[in-house]
Amino acid sequence: MIKAIYKKHILEFKQASGTSRGVLKTKETWFIILEDSNGNKGIGECGILRGLSIDDRPDYENQLKQTCQNINKGFTALYKENDAFPSIQIGLEIAFKSLESQNNYEIFPSEFSKGNETIPINGLIWMGTEAFMKQQIKDKIEAGFSCIKLKIGAIDFETELNLLKSIRKEFTQKDIELRVDANGAFAPNNALEKLKQLSEFNLHSIEQPIKQGQFQDMAQLCEKTPLPIALDEELIGVFGKTNQHDMLQTIKPQYIILKPSFVGGFKGSDQWINLAKKQNIGWWITSALESNIGLNAITQYTYTKQVSAPQGLGTGSLYTNNISSPLEIKKGHITYNTNVNWDFKF
C-alpha cells in the first residue's frame, strides 16, 4: 500500500523577472509525496505555471487531492486519468520513479546523476531596462556561457535590436550563440518584417514569434522566415498523437521546444520527440521555472537523450527559497555534484 499527500510551495524570485506576459515575483508549485508500507518515500513536483499551463484551472487542487486519494490505482491508470493535467502527470511520474530510486533523487540513473558528465545549457537573460539586460549578458559571458537566450517583446523593439547589435559588435556567431524568445509578442501582420530585422544578427532561432493557436499564420511564417522558428507555447494543450502530428505537419517548424511539465511529463515528451524526428524537426528541452525537485528530474531525463546542443535547464538559481540540491551551473553547463546533499523535509 502507498500513501500520498500533496504540499503547496510558493517560490520567491530573487529579483522580479520580466517576460512579455508580465513580471514574475513568485511562482506556485506543488509536491506529491509518496510513502510505501516499508517507509520508503518518493517526491515529485507538479510544475504548473499560472496563466500559461493548460491545467491552470479552478479545480486543480481538487484534482491533485483525488489523485493522491487514489494513489494505489498505480501510475499507468492515474497518468491516464490526468490527461487534462500534464503538470500532475509529470508530478506522478517523478514521484513514482523517486519511490523506486535508492536515494529519492536519482530519477534516471546515468553518468550525469553519478556526477561524471555535464549538459550544456543556455544562459537566460530576463527582460528589463537596456542597462539591466546588458549587465546580465556580461555576467553570463563571464560565467562561461557559449549560448545566450534573450526574452524579447516587452520593451521597445528598436531598443532590443540595438541590444543585439551591441552584443554582435563584441561577440561573433562563433563566440556566442544567440537565441531569442518572443513569447508570442509579435502580431501576425508585422512578424515577418521583425524576423528579417532580427536575422541580421546571426541568431540561432526565435521562439514563438506570434501567439499560439494561429496555425496558418505560423505555417506561413515558418515557410518564409529568414530565421529558424521554434514552437514553444504552441505545443501546450495539443493532446493526442494524431493532433500533434497534424499540427507539426501543418506548421512545419524548424524546431520544437519541450517543457515536460506542460506536455505530460517524460512520456509526453517522448511522444513529441518521436513525431518531430519523423518530420526532420529539431528539438530541445527546457524547464518551466520548477524548483530543483522538478529541474533535477527533467535534467536527468534530458541527459538520457544524449543531447549536444545547449538546453534550457538553468532556472534553479532564480529563487531565494529553492530546495538546496546538488545541481550546479559551471561554465555554461549543468552538473550534479554528488558531494552536496539535498535538504528537502519530507
Just list the catalytic residues: 151, 259
Q: What is the amino acid identity at position 53?
A: S
**Cα separation of 56 and 244, whole Å?**
21
Grid cell locating 327: 545541481
Residue identified by cell 542597462 is 131
Nearest to 144 by CA among 334, 337, 342, 325: 334
Number of other residues whose CB lies within 10 A of the CB of residue 9: 15
Cβ contact 92:286 at 8 Å: no
Give the contacts of 186 (CB within 8 A, at least 6 positions apart): 153, 194, 209, 210
Q: What is the amino acid identity at position 224?
A: K
Distance of CA 217 to the CA centre of its chain: 25
Cβ contact 284:260 at 8 Å: no
Distance of CA 33 to the CA centre of its chain: 22
Give the contacts of 156 (CB within 8 A, at least 6 positions apart): none
Rg (CA), the chain: 20
Cβ contact 125:150 at 8 Å: yes
DSSP lists the bridge partners of residue 194 as: none
